[in-house]
């Protein structure tokens, strides 16, 4: 069966890991220092430093402003957890707002500052740079970590609905984190 889209009703084994971020979207978000999950060869640059599977972006130190579009065939939780801990950057993920990983790493993250729910569906790009014929089949969201990245999302011009994290949610997240630390 032909590979159609990321978010369709397919088994994980059928889904490629490498769905490149559309370059025009990335350009609107400014320069990044690190992209921790990249294919070995990229048709364009997403950040000053790219980490490939051979180096394993989850095992490497993260520094600076991070761009994260995590692999889709694996659990997003580990990548998003790392991003939440790092606290500086922007992530592009499926808007699976009800899932445990989304609650942990976005809604309850003490460092997540804003979300931009994209209008329409993204056409990602293949590893050779070609734009996919099909859209990704599901809604996407950009998540800001750190207030400077919320400011960028709010003014980036990517079409969608932007919200800052409610202060009560952030206060509760910080309290929960403190309790976990003391527990
Ligand atoms: C959704 S693509 C994103 C590519 C690129 N970062 C972008 O935004 O266009 C995710 C990439 O992560 C790579 N990847 C998977 N596991 C990885 C790991 N442990 N360390 C680094 N990269 C990994 C995959 O090979 C895939 O190319």
Spell out the per-residue pLDDT of the chain, length 183, in tens. 344 455 543 434 435 688 999 999 999 999 999 999 999 999 999 999 999 999 999 999 999 999 999 997 667 899 999 999 999 999 999 999 999 999 999 999 999 999 999 999 999 999 999 999 999 999 999 999 999 999 999 999 999 999 998 766 666 777 777 787 776
The CB of 144 under 6 Å from ligand 1? The reply is no
Residue 15 pLDDT: 53
Kindly give the number of the ligand 1 atom that is closest to the alpha carbon of 39. Answer: 27
Distances (CA, A) of 146 to 9, 72, 85, 110, 182: 34, 24, 11, 9, 24
**CB neighbours (10 Å) of residue 3?**
13
Kindly give the number of the ligand 1 atom that is closest to the alpha carbon of 26. Answer: 8
Residue 183 pLDDT: 63
Residue 54 lies in a domain: yes
The token duo for 76 is 């997003």
Residue 7 lies in a domain: no
Residue 14 pLDDT: 38
Residue 72 to residue 7: CA distance in whole angstroms: 9
The CB of 46 under 6 Å from ligand 1? The reply is yes
Residue 1 lies in a domain: no
The CB of 84 under 6 Å from ligand 1? The reply is no
Residue 170 pLDDT: 67
Question: Which residue's CA is the closest to the ligand 1 atom numbered 16?
Answer: 53
The token duo for 45 is 């640059």
Residue 53 pLDDT: 95
H helices present in 13-114, as ranges: 23-27, 77-86, 100-102
CA 167 to centroid of ligand 1, rounded, Å: 32
HSE of 106, CA atoms in CB hemisphere, 13 A: 27
Decide: helix, strand or coil at residue 28: coil
**Domain range spanning residue 25?**
12-182
Residue 4 pLDDT: 47
Phi, psi of 160 (to 5 degrees): 165, -170
CA 112 to centroid of ligand 1, rounded, Å: 22
Query: Number of structural domains, the chain?
Result: 1
Phi, psi of 127 (to 5 degrees): -55, -25
Residue 174 pLDDT: 73
Residue 5 lies in a domain: no
Biggest CA–CA distance in the chain, Å, is 51
The CB of 93 under 6 Å from ligand 1? The reply is no
């Amino acid at each position: 069966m032909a590979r159609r889209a990321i978010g369709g009703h397919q088994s994980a084994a059928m889904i490629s890991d490498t769905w490149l971020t559309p370059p025009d979207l990335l350009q609107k978000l400014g320069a990044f220092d690190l992209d921790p999950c990249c294919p070995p060869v990229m048709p364009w640059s997403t950040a000053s430093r790219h980490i490939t599977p051979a180096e394993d972006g989850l095992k490497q130190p993260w520094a600076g402003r991070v761009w994260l579009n995590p692999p889709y065939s694996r659990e997003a939780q580990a990548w998003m957890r790392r991003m939440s801990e790092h606290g500086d950057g922007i992530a592009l993920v499926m808007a699976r707002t009800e899932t445990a990983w989304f609650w942990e790493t976005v809604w309850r993250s003490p460092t997540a500052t804003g979300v931009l729910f994209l209008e329409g569906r993204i056409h990602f790009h293949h590893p050779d740079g070609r734009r996919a014929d099909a859209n990704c089949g599901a809604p996407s969201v950009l998540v800001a970590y750190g207030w400077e990245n919320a400011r960028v999302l709010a003014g980036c011009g990517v079409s969608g609905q932007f919200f800052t994290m409610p202060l009560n949610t952030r206060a509760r997240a910080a309290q929960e984190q403190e309790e976990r630390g003391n527990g």
